[in-house]
Amino acid sequence: MGNSSTNTTIWGDGVTDHVIDIGEDGVSVKHLKINNSASLGAGIDYNGYTGINISYCNITGNFYGIYGCTEDVSQACIYSNCLSENNISISVCFGVNVISNNYIFDNYDFGLSIISGGFVYNNYFDNTNNVVGTTAYFNISKTLGTNIIGGPYLGGNYWNNYTGEDTNGDGLGDTDVPFMNLDYFPLTTQNNIRFIDINNGSNGTTIIPSGYLVFNWTFVSNADRYQFQIANDQDFTDLVVNISDINELIYPSHCTISDNVSFILPSGYSSRLSRICYCRVRAYIKD
């Protein structure tokens, strides 16, 4: 297609199998609008070829949006596409395919059909049936970076039918995981819950030799819940302690969360923390 392909629309005749039928390794397909394959055909077919790059395309109104599913190894990087109103948006079988940063929604049968291998992460799934097939990796490790729904961490995928909860405010689901026995870090919205940092320990906190630390905080009257966190770094990426029930740590025990109280950290955590660590309490407020 060359450089002239940017924002070009390719409309299939509805009779020929595929709108684009890739016939060699190392092909890139970018910045195209692809519509109207034949029945059982694909918007893009890359059967049996490797090193394929499909990105920044709008693929709609086909039986298969993208198809790479024969007994021969097919391998592609499929990212930053919009796939909608196909019967099956993506169908891949053999080979290590990487599927990320795609918007996959309003497809009729399945959003994704995957049989063997590959990585599927940071995609937006909003279909009646989002996925069939269970052998791929549906998340990467929790990684700092803006995800496809604007959250602060990369991990898994956004699923319209995920109903679990994010209990620590990092934008990744903590309950009902792995979701569908696939995704260990499903992306979540905050459901109109915002947080404020009451004390973010910006100057660091010293753990005393016994393994306890003292940390003061201030009660917020309209908080829905609290989260107590301790990390080895100021950005809280090396998070060691993440406790939802602050009452477990209040000292002395007769105080309540309505007081400006101190916390003590059980010494079992001390071996995992730097001598100087960083503490914060987050108050979650439902708007």
Report whether pLDDT(220) > 90.
no
Q: What is the pTM of this model?
A: 0.67
Contacts of 50 (CB under 8 A, 6+ apart): 25, 26, 73, 74, 75, 76, 95
Region 72-91: mean pLDDT is 91
pLDDT in tens, 104-156: 999 999 999 998 778 999 999 999 999 997 778 999 999 988 888 877 789 99
Query: Looking up tokens 């439902």, which residue turns up?
Result: 286
**Pairing mode, if any, of strands 205-206 and 276-286?**
antiparallel
Region 187-200: mean pLDDT is 63
How far apart are the C-alpha atoms of 70 and 161, rounded to whole Å? 30
Task: Output the pLDDT for position 214.
Answer: 56
The band of 251, judged by pLDDT with boundaries at 50, 70 and 90, is very low
pLDDT in tens, 163-193: 998 888 788 999 999 999 999 999 997 554 5
Structure-block tokens of residue 34: 């692809």
In angstroms, how far is the first alpha carbon of the chain from the final one? 50
